[in-house]
Amino acid sequence: METLIFLLLLGINGVTGVTHTLKYFYTASPGVSNLPEFLVVGQVDDVQITYYDSDTRRTEPKQDWMKKFTADYPQYREIDGLTVAQKIYNARTETAKQQTEGLHVFQNMFGCEWDDETDEVNGYYRNGYDGEDFITFDLKTKTWIAANSEALITKQKLDRDKALADQTHIYLTQICPEWLKEYLKYGRISLQRRVYPSVSLLQTSPSSPVSCHATGFYPDRATMFWSKDGEELHEDVDHGEILPNQDGTFQMTVDLDISSVKPEDWTRYDCVFQLYGVKDDIITKLDKAVIRSNEGSEFPVGLVVGVIAVLILLAVCIAGFFICRAKIIPVNHIVKYSYTASDYEEYWEKDGLSVAQQIYHASTETAKQQTEGFKPAVQRHHLRTVKRWGR
């Protein structure tokens, strides 16, 4: 039976202490056309709460509860953290102008963590340059640590600014945690909810791996793994990424290679889902009877071949008709067309997207008819973006 459990756990038994986070991601890309020179994204517990860029020059709340917060706190600004980021950016920009030319990307990731059980707080400040670590702030010594030789000049400039070091320390250890606690008061129902997922076992064919697929859980701090006799497996297992759903929940998949698993040993295997901050796990036993697949729904290849043959024959007949007809058309009835590049450009501006849309729909319908086997809802990310700094 497909495991389906939805629970909202708000401060009830079974919920342990949780470490909450407030993060800001600052990105500056001077000289890049059609992009703001810099932008800032704020997150609480990995949920975006604010957006700011140099074009609009205003902070935009991204959650309903955040809109209420900004209305109650009209003086609200992330001024302290952004001031530090701006000074580092200015110092690095001056150095970059002297050392290199071209376009560059500057990144800052700063924030704090708060344990709601122990009341312990921690802060961090990291700066990146062109996707690589550049300089970080040491909370204990109140000094800056260069990640490479290129960062030494910037480090020296920042270390001379003792006021900046004190400001950074106060922000990360006092101001940031206080803001985080205020955010949690306003967004507690949304941010601190716990939603269990629906867990299913999927398989495309009898010889393919069995996918344990969990969807609909919140927050995204969750783990899932295959176990044998209660022990977590590390071999013959493929862990997928945690991906977002459109409704704000998340999904993930873990595959188990069963090629070497004997039928009598299936009952020894379990898929275990664990949601951070909740004691109870969802355990789904490996059982052939509950695996969802499209085994047996083979596509009629013979019918397709027959249809294609008929279409080819029809095309040959039509082509023959026009060839014969062309032989008897008088020369004075032939019309010559001359198209310029601007004519084609105008056509594509008006109709190109429409044509592409029709081709997309047609190909999608064909793919739905021709695809063999069951395709799980989650897809692997084979295409990777440029190195995601800070993850």
- 224 within 8 A of 270, measured Cβ to Cβ: no
Q: What pLDDT score was predicted for residue 376?
A: 37
DSSP 8-state symbol, 331:
G
Give the CA count within 13 Å in the CB-facing half-sphere of 93.
15
pLDDT band at residue 78 using 50, 70 and 90 as cut-offs: low
C-alpha to C-alpha distance for 172 and 111, rounded to whole angstroms: 6
Calculate ∠ Cα 367-312-360, nearest 5°.
Answer: 25
What residues does each domain of the chain span?
A: 19-191, 198-290
Q: Averaged over 159-186, what is the pLDDT?
A: 93
Q: What pLDDT score was predicted for residue 277?
A: 78
C-alpha to C-alpha distance for 250 and 243, rounded to whole angstroms: 6
pLDDT digits (tens, 9 = 90+) for 237-273: 999 999 989 888 899 999 999 999 999 999 999 999 9
- 218 within 8 A of 250, measured Cβ to Cβ: yes
Q: What pLDDT score was predicted for residue 217?
A: 94
Name the residue with higher pLDDT: 174 or 354: 174
DSSP 8-state symbol, 218:
B
Q: What pLDDT score was predicted for residue 31?
A: 76
3-state class (DSSP) for residue 223: strand
Pick the range with the lowest mean pLDDT from 84-93, 214-223, 347-356. 347-356
What share of the chain in percent tops pLDDT 90?
Answer: 41
What number does CATH give the domain 19-191? 3.30.500.10
Range list of β-strands (E), the chain? 3-4, 19-28, 38-44, 47-53, 59-61, 106-115, 121-129, 132-138, 143-146, 198-202, 210-217, 222-228, 231-232, 237-239, 243-244, 250-256, 269-275, 282-285
Q: Is the predicted pLDDT of residue 80 greater than 90, yes or no?
A: no
DSSP 8-state symbol, 84:
H
β-bridge mates for residue 128, sequence order:
107, 133
DSSP 8-state symbol, 37:
S
C-alpha to C-alpha distance for 143 and 153, rounded to whole angstroms: 14
CATH architecture group of domain 198-290? Sandwich (2.60)
pLDDT digits (tens, 9 = 90+) for 86-144: 565 665 555 555 555 677 888 889 999 999 889 999 999 998 988 899 999 999 999 99
Range list of β-strands (E), 295-381? none
Residues near 7 by Cβ (< 8 Å), separated by ≥ 6? 194, 195, 196
Q: Provide the 10 A C-beta neighbour count for residue 136.
A: 20
pLDDT digits (tens, 9 = 90+) for 268-323: 999 999 998 788 999 999 999 999 986 554 444 444 445 555 555 555 555 454 44
Is the pTM for the entire model greater than 0.75?
A: no
Nearest to 155 by CA among 127, 122, 130: 127
Q: What pLDDT score was predicted for residue 103?
A: 78
- 279 within 8 A of 14, measured Cβ to Cβ: yes
Q: Averaged over 351-355, what is the pLDDT?
A: 28
Q: How far is CA 84 from CA 26, 171, 263, 325, in A?
A: 11, 10, 61, 79
C-alpha to C-alpha distance for 190 and 98, rounded to whole angstroms: 48
pLDDT digits (tens, 9 = 90+) for 222-241: 999 999 999 999 999 999 99
Q: List, as one string, the DSSP characters of 97-154.
A: HHH--S---EEEEEEEEEETTT--EEEEEEEEETTEEEEEEETTTTEEEESSGGGHHH
Residues near 201 by Cβ (< 8 Å), separated by ≥ 6? 210, 211, 212, 213, 271, 284, 286, 287, 290, 291, 292
pLDDT digits (tens, 9 = 90+) for 20-34: 899 999 888 877 778
What share of the chain in percent tops pLDDT 70?
Answer: 63
Q: State CA 16 to chain mean position distance.
A: 27
DSSP 8-state symbol, 177:
H
Tally of helices (H runs) and strands (E runs) in the chain: 8, 18
Q: Are 19-191 and 198-290 the same fold in CATH?
A: no
Across the chain, mean pLDDT equals 73
Name the residue with higher pLDDT: 284 or 39: 284
